């Protein structure tokens, strides 16, 4: 005889199961703080028929031929925009169980996993607008120690992409024969004692970078300490094609060509410029091999906004589905808001190298740094 408590429990289960959904037994676990739910390595169990006598498995709709033939297949759940449906279990044939086939979920890039686990949803800039406090918590200013005293001068930007790693431009590393020694995290005003200071531990430059060219202009800084949890890293865009044409550049650089730098973080709206149009502005004298696939162009079509001196290494951002993505690293330009678009290192082209340093695979030899500040400085 069931107790009152058990009847209430069963009633609650009946009310919680939508009429049109599959009677699934989810084995799911949250992988991020954005509410995105991913299945475990084994697919969920479900029943294909209403009588719950034909067992099935929750699979991607496109992986279930039988469901594709149905006008309204039974849905188990959604993962982002992917629909998982109840698919007849191949381990059953006319009621007889056969050996099951092991199915593996699609592999996921380490940088994508890091972005999801971070839970973050939601160059001088010429003619830029001031940002609000911690609008871009992943913004970083690179600091050099003065040769005359112990003061710090900030000359390049960067982006926090992991709790201990900053992504910047390779040409920022050897600035006047010196390497940066510290960073200021948080995207705060540089003259008001705000932000979080952190020392640089090691520096990794892209192995194909050549200071005589503008190609592979990308570097990584490993920090001495983890950034505070409130300073959430930026997500890395994974595709060569951008989802949006409208982009945003941020930085502390000069507010006009040869002008004064800004201590307040500024932002400017830019547009993605096609490779063909951008190439017209950059001759072989400026880019010996022309515009590479690992580079992208952005500018203000009205000629009012741009990145400038001091913005090098800073982020070019794209907002898609309420998430900020890092798509480019400020690399080079011609003047500031003078007409030609600026060139940025395309982040998606260097994901393999970035992941090998920041999120190395277990039992894989780690990448050696170009500078170890614990030893040399």
- The model's confidence at residue 371, banded by pLDDT at 50, 70 and 90, is confident
Residues 6+ apart with CB under 8 A from 60: 82, 83, 84, 85
pLDDT at 362 over 60: yes
pLDDT at 284 over 90: no
Q: How many CB atoms lie within 10 A of CB 131?
A: 18
Q: What pLDDT, on the 0 to 100 scale, is given for residue 363?
A: 62
What is the C-alpha end-to-end distance of the chain, expressed in Å?
A: 77
Q: What pLDDT, on the 0 to 100 scale, is given for residue 22?
A: 44
312, 331, 342, 348: which one is catalytic? 312
Q: What pLDDT, on the 0 to 100 scale, is given for residue 96?
A: 47
For 107-377, CATH number out of 1.10.3720.10, 3.40.50.1370, 3.40.50.2000, 2.40.10.10 equals: 2.40.10.10
Q: Is 328:298 a contact under the CB 8 Å cutoff?
A: yes
Euclidean distance between CA atoms 49 and 65, whole angstroms: 16
Euclidean distance between CA atoms 346 and 215, whole angstroms: 10
57, 171, 188, 262: which one is catalytic? 171
Euclidean distance between CA atoms 255 and 267, whole angstroms: 11
Q: What pLDDT, on the 0 to 100 scale, is given for residue 26?
A: 39
- The model's confidence at residue 347, banded by pLDDT at 50, 70 and 90, is very high
Q: Which of 156, 62, 341, 123 has the alpha carbon at shortest distance from 249? A: 123
Q: What pLDDT, on the 0 to 100 scale, is given for residue 110?
A: 86
Q: Which of 269, 130, 144 has the alpha carbon at shortest distance from 188? A: 130
44, 188, 217, 306: which one is catalytic? 217
Per the model's pLDDT, the better-predicted residue between 39 and 70 turns out to be: 70
- On the CB side of 174, CA atoms within 13 Å amount to 11
Q: Which 3-state string (H, E, C) describes 199-246? A: EEEEEEECCCCCCCCCCCCCEEEEECCCCCCCCCCCEECCCCCCCCCE
User: In the predicted model, what is the mean pLDDT of residues 275-303?
Assistant: 88
- The model's confidence at residue 6, banded by pLDDT at 50, 70 and 90, is very low
149 assigned to active site:
no
Q: Is 340:303 a contact under the CB 8 Å cutoff?
A: no
- The model's confidence at residue 160, banded by pLDDT at 50, 70 and 90, is very high
Chain segment 300-333, per-residue pLDDT in tens: 877 655 455 447 899 999 998 888 999 999 998 7
pTM, two decimal places: 0.66
Chain segment 215-271, per-residue pLDDT in tens: 999 999 999 999 999 999 999 999 999 999 999 999 886 543 333 456 788 888 899
Helices (H) and strands (E) in the chain, counts: 6, 25
Dihedral sign (CA 343, 337, 236, 63): negative
- The model's confidence at residue 296, banded by pLDDT at 50, 70 and 90, is very high
Per the model's pLDDT, the better-predicted residue between 349 and 15 turns out to be: 349
Per the model's pLDDT, the better-predicted residue between 190 and 347 turns out to be: 347
372 assigned to active site:
no
Query: Domain limits of the chain?
Result: 19-105, 107-377
Residues 6+ apart with CB under 8 A from 324: 120, 136, 138, 234, 235, 317, 318
Q: What pLDDT, on the 0 to 100 scale, is given for residue 106?
A: 56
Q: Is 269:307 a contact under the CB 8 Å cutoff?
A: no
Record the tokens describing residue 269, joined without a space. 């709206």
Least confident of 67-81, 124-138, 181-195, 285-299: 124-138
- On the CB side of 376, CA atoms within 13 Å amount to 13
Q: What pLDDT, on the 0 to 100 scale, is given for residue 246?
A: 94
- The model's confidence at residue 7, banded by pLDDT at 50, 70 and 90, is very low
pLDDT at 141 over 70: yes
How far CA 367 is from CA of 97, 106, 341, 357, in Å, comes to: 49, 27, 34, 6
Residue 65 per-residue DSSP state? H
pLDDT at 20 over 70: no
Q: How many CB atoms lie within 10 A of CB 38?
A: 15
Record the tokens describing residue 224, joined without a space. 């001495």
pLDDT averaged over every residue in the chain: 76
How far CA 280 is from CA of 157, 283, 302, 304, 340, in Å, comes to: 28, 7, 17, 20, 9
217 assigned to active site:
yes
Q: Is 180:169 a contact under the CB 8 Å cutoff?
A: no
Percent pLDDT > 90 in the chain is: 36
User: In the predicted model, what is the mean pLDDT of residues 126-148?
Assistant: 79
Euclidean distance between CA atoms 87 and 279, whole angstroms: 50
């Amino acid at each position: 005889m069931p107790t009152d408590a058990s009847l209430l429990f069963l009633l609650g289960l009946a009310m919680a199961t939508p009429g049109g959904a599959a009677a699934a037994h989810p084995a799911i676990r949250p992988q991020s703080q954005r509410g995105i739910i991913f299945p475990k390595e084994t697919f969920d169990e479900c029943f294909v028929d209403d009588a719950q006598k034909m067992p099935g498995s929750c699979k991607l709709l496109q992986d279930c031929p039988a469901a594709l033939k149905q006008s309204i297949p039974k849905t188990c759940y959604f993962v982002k925009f992917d629909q998982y449906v109840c698919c007849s279990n191949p381990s059953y044939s006319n009621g007889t169980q056969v050996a099951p086939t092991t199915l593996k979920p699609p592999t996921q890039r380490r940088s994508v996993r890091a972005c999801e686990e971070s839970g973050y949803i939601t160059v001088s800039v010429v003619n830029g607008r001031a940002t609000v406090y911690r609008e871009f918590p992943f913004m970083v200013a690179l600091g050099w120690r003065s040769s005359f005293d112990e003061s710090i001068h900030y000359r390049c930007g960067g982006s926090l992409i992991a709790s201990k790693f900053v992504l910047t431009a390779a040409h920022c590393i050897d600035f006047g024969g010196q390497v940066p020694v510290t960073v200021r995290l948080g995207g705060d005003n540089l003259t008001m004692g705000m932000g979080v200071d952190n020392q640089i531990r090691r520096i990794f430059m892209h192995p194909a970078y050549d200071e005589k060219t503008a190609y592979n202009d990308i570097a990584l800084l490993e920090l001495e300490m983890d950034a505070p949890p409130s300073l959430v890293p930026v997500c890395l865009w994974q595709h060569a094609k951008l989802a949006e044409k409208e982009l945003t550049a941020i930085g502390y650089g000069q507010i006009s060509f040869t002008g004064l730098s800004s201590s307040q973080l500024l932002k400017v709206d830019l547009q993605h410029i096609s490779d063909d149009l951008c190439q017209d502005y950059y001759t072989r004298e400026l880019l010996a091999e022309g515009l590479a696939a690992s580079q992208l162009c952005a500018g203000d079509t009205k000629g009012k906004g741009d990145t400038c001196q001091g913005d090098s290494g800073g982020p070019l951002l794209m907002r898609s589905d309420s998430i900020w993505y890092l798509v480019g690293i400020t690399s080079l330009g011609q003047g500031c808001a003078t007409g030609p678009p600026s060139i940025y290192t395309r982040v998606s082209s260097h994901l393999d190298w970035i992941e090998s340093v920041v999120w190395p695979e277990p039992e894989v030899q780690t990448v050696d740094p170009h500078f170890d500040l614990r030893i040399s400085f």
